[in-house]
Amino acid sequence: MIDVYVSDTAHQTHRTRRLRHVKDYNPEDDSEFWINKAQSVLSAKLARKAITGPAKNVIMFLGDGFSIPTLAAARAYLGQSQGAPGEETELSFEEFPNTGLSKTYCVDSQVADSACSATAYLSGVKANIGTAGVTGRVKVDDCAAMRNTSNQVSSILKWSQDAGKSTGVVTTTRITHASPSGTYAHIANRDWENDAEVRNSGQDPDICDDIAEQLVNRIPGKNIKVSICRYEEYIIL
């Protein structure tokens, strides 16, 4: 037999923090609490009628770096800021009738960046890391492949415009940044936000249209009705 000693200090700390919220009687201690809660949720889901009519609006909200651990931390923080234990808290969008998960990885990278992941969730096609609005046939800095229209993919924003809908992009970063650029740009390098960056990478900006130029002069960028960004840079002297 092998004896394994595990320090209980951290566990005791966690218990102490949560027990501060527990009153003399805690319904969570009874199995009926959890069974009834589960049955209540299932009954509500089964009783909900499906929406069969066409959607009036579609809003895609992205929290950069959003993951399951991020959601867990947000629940705990929100609940504890309201005087509750925290874990049982539900975020607003968790109350939606339907939810799901998406895999965020690049064709050439397990860990996705904002460019290839934007391409995935906006167009349904996965791309190489550092590229946006193109297929996996476009490698980073490959201007020729980027310009090949067969390697370009359309986003839900373009599909909406084709259906006669008004479209907009609102972001807390630069409008030419990787995440928002996935709605309108086809680019071989997410850093090509302006012609200077294209030139700095050894490419010709007259041939390789940068992200800003695509926003202003190309479809679907130039047909966007609302384009808002709130970006601030702080310089510490």
What averages of pLDDT result for each successive group of 10 residues across the chain (237 residues)?
A: 54 57 73 92 89 87 84 91 87 86 87 93 95 97 97 96 95 94 97 96 96 96 90 46
Which pLDDT does position 31 carry in this prediction? Answer: 92
pLDDT of residue 10: 55
114: annotated active-site residue? yes
Annotated binding site for Mg(2+): 64, 177, 179
Q: Which of 83, 80, 139, 70 is nearest to 108 (CA)?
A: 139
CA distance 44 to 47: 5
For residue 63, what are the contacts with CB-CB under 8 A and spacing of at least 6? 70
Annotated binding-site positions: 64, 177, 179
Measured distance between the N- and C-terminal CA atoms of the chain, rounded to whole angstroms: 61
CA 223 to chain centre: 24
Residue ranges at the known binding site for Zn(2+):
64
**Radius of gyration in angstroms for the set of CA atoms belonging to the chain, rounded to a whole number:** 24
pTM score of the predicted model: 0.79
Q: What is the pLDDT of residue 237?
A: 37
Catalytic option among 31, 67, 81, 114: 114
